[in-house]
Structures are given as C-alpha cells and as structure tokens.
C-alpha cells in the first residue's frame, strides 16, 4: 500500500488537534462549573445574606462574568458551522463584549 499524501497527513493532524482542543475546552468548562457548584452553599451563606457592598458587587462581577464568558466561549468555538445555525448572528458581538467586560474586571486588580 502506498504512503498517504502529505495533504492527508496535514488534515488528519489538524483534525486531531481540533478534537483535542474541544475536549480541553469542555473539560475546563466542566471544572469551572463543578467549582461553582461546590462553593455555591458557602456563597449563599456568606455573600448573599450580607449587606450589599462594593466588595460584594466585585465578587458577583468576577464570579458570574467568567461563568457567562465560559458559556459563550464554548458556544462559539464548539458550534460546527455557525453560518448554518439559526440565531447565532450576535455571538461574535457578545463574545467581544464578554472579553471587554473581563478585561475591565481584571483591570481593577
């Protein structure tokens, strides 16, 4: 049998890299949501039941902006062909807004 062409080898390598990247993204998102689920009871007892302050606002901004960003990042990168999927025209704009919000939050530190 003959050796595969260099183009076929390159395509197979790229597909395997994309599969690996998508699996890493899913694992990272699962880890983030698992961490949120573990600390939700402490958050409710310590943060939600206290008087509203600037630190509490910063906590909510940090915690939930990253969660929203993670969901949108996975949606954008894991949709196979966004041009054929209904209702994703605004996702690039939402992604840019999410990245901008995260940069704004991290600039506070």
Average confidence (pLDDT) per 10 residues, the chain, 109 residues: 72 82 84 90 88 88 84 74 53 60 58
CA distances, 70 to each of 26, 48, 100 (Å): 10, 23, 14
- Write down the pLDDT at residue 86: 47
Residue-level pLDDT at 107: 61
What pLDDT is attached to residue 41? 92
Contacts 24+ apart (CB under 8 A), 33-38: 33/67, 33/70, 36/63, 36/67
According to the model, what pLDDT value does residue 34 have?
Answer: 93
Q: CB of 105 within 8 A of CB of 62?
A: yes
Alpha-carbon distances, residue 78 vs 35, 44, 61, 104 (angstroms): 22, 32, 25, 26
What is the phi/psi pair of residue 53, to 5°? -140, 175
């Amino acid at each position: 049998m003959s050796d595969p062409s260099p183009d076929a080898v390159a395509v197979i390598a790229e597909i395997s890299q994309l599969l690996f990247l998508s699996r890493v993204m899913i694992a990272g998102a699962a880890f983030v949501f698992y961490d949120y689920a573990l600390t939700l009871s402490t958050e409710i007892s310590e943060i939600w039941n206290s008087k509203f302050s600037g630190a509490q606002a910063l906590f909510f901004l940090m915690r939930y902006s990253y969660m929203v960003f993670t969901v949108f990042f996975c949606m954008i990168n894991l949709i196979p062909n966004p041009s054929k999927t209904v209702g994703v025209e605004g996702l690039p704009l939402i992604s840019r807004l999410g990245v901008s919000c995260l940069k704004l939050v991290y600039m506070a530190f």
